[in-house]
Each structure stands twice: as C-alpha cells, then as structure tokens.
Structure 1
Amino acid sequence: MRYALLMHYREPGEGELSEEMMREAQNAFDAYAKALRQAGVLLSADVLTPSMVTTTVSRPDGDLRVQDGPFAESKEALAGVFLVDVPDLDAAIGWAERCPGAQWGAVEIRPVATSFLDGAWTR
C-alpha cells in the first residue's frame, strides 16, 4: 500500500540554523532516504522550499485567484514528502517514526487513494 509521509514543522527564521546544524539535518535525511531505498519501499522524496515562496491557486467562484504565500496561516508548514510503498499502516508508522522530521514537528501518514502511474489511474 502506498503512503505519503508528510513532514510538518516550524520553519526556521533567517540565520536561525547554523551551517553545522544544516549539515547534520541533511546527513540525517540522506541516511533516512537511503534506508528507505535499501529496504525497497521508497517511491520518491521531495524537500520543499520555504512556504514564503508558495503560490496558491484557487477557483472558488469559477474565477482564477492566484495568491502569493501559503493558503493557511500556521506555525507549522508542509516541509517535505516521502512516498513509500509498504505492506500496511504499521510499517508506515515504523518508517515515520524514523523520519528526522519527527524531531522538529510531526509526520502525517496519509494513505494514497489513487495514483497516476504509467499513464493510467490505479487504486
């Protein structure tokens, strides 16, 4: 079963993280991604840019609205996504527990309902 591991945590302010702290975090995520890959469960992984560069598109009344910045004001932001294919929720919880992002915030585990793979929608 495919699960999205969605990392949510407070975005650090400008200059709040030292180069050493950034290197440690990058090394932790590198080791985590390599462990997922070695286990054969990693489908993709993406780290997102800070939310201040977000553009939100909506059409609530049929008219296009483009908004700079995130849609919702929140102390925590979506920081990245790991897409994994594991046997069940317990396995997804095991991997989320090991995610470095869990140290700074929360890792939301969401089952994938439908996927577009090889040109077709699948469940």
Structure 2
Amino acid sequence: MKYLLLIYFAEQTLAEDDRQACYRESLQLARDLAERGQYLAASPLQPTVLATSVRVRDGQCLVTDGPFAETREQLGGYYLVETADLDQAIAIAARIPMARKGTVEVRPLIELPGLPADDQA
C-alpha cells in the first residue's frame, strides 16, 4: 500500500542550522527507505509565502497568493512510501525529523488504474 506522509510544522520556528540538520537527517532516512524498497519520493517545500492557491468557481479561475488556509502549522514537505500496512507507515512517519517538532499526517493513497505512471510500467 502507498502512503503519503505529510509534514506540518510552524515555518517561522525553524532556524537555518536546524533546517539544514533536518535536511541531512531526512536524506539519510530516504536512503534507508530506498534500501528497503519502501521509498518512492520525498521533498521539502518552499515557504508558504511562495505558494499560490487556485480555485475554480462558476467557471472562473481564482488565483490568490499564499496557502489555502491560515494555520499555526504549514505543509513543509512529504514522503511517498510503499509499505505492507499502516503500522509500517506510522513507524516511518515517527522517524521523520520534523515529527519531533511538528506533525506528520499519514494518508493512504487511492490507486487509480490507468494513470500515466501505470501506463509506463
């Protein structure tokens, strides 16, 4: 089963040296997961000040600066993993460095047959 591990934290609370340490630890986690065949993708995200939100209402495209909602924690990155079950996905989420400072949401994916990646296989 594939899981998206969404990493939330308060962007303003992380000093640059802490951010770099988090990146180093996250890279090692990605390498460990790759060795186990569980790694599919991962990436930190740019700050929310660089985000753009798009909505279509009544046929009109509405574009606004910033994230969809103001919250105390922002989406800061993700891992996409493949595991046997939810327990394994939770164990991986607990190893993500930002789980110690923020929140990691574990979401199973709905795998739709016929998506482009499926066609390439």
Q: Same fold (TM over 0.5)?
A: yes
Is the CA contact 1:41–1:84 (under 8 Å) kept in the aligned structure 2? yes
Q: Deviations over 1:56-77 (max 9, x none)?
A: 1101222110001111011111
**Higher helix proportion:** 2
> What is the aligned length?
117
Within 5 Å, which residues of 2 pair with 1:27-46? 27-46=24-43
Paired with 1:93 and 1:44, the residues of 2 have a C-alpha distance of 17
Once the two structures are aligned, what percentage of the paired residues are identical?
37
2:52 corresponds to: 55
Could you state the TM-score of these two structures normalised by the residue count of structure 2? 0.88
Gaps of 5+ in 1: none
C-alpha RMSD of the superposition: 1.6
Within 5 Å, which residues of 2 pair with 1:97-112? 97-112=94-109
Paired with 1:37 and 1:74, the residues of 2 have a C-alpha distance of 33
Within 5 Å, which residues of 2 pair with 1:1-123? 1-12=1-12, 17-19=15-17, 21-115=18-112, 116=115, 117-119=117-119
Q: Deviations over 1:13-64 (max 9, x none)?
A: 6xx6143x23322211111111111111001111110011001110122211
Gaps of 5+ in 2: none
Paired with 2:25 and 2:89, the residues of 1 have a C-alpha distance of 18
Superposition misfits of 4+ residues, deviation over 6 angstroms: none
SS for the counterpart of 1:45 is: strand
Paired with 1:101 and 1:67, the residues of 2 have a C-alpha distance of 28
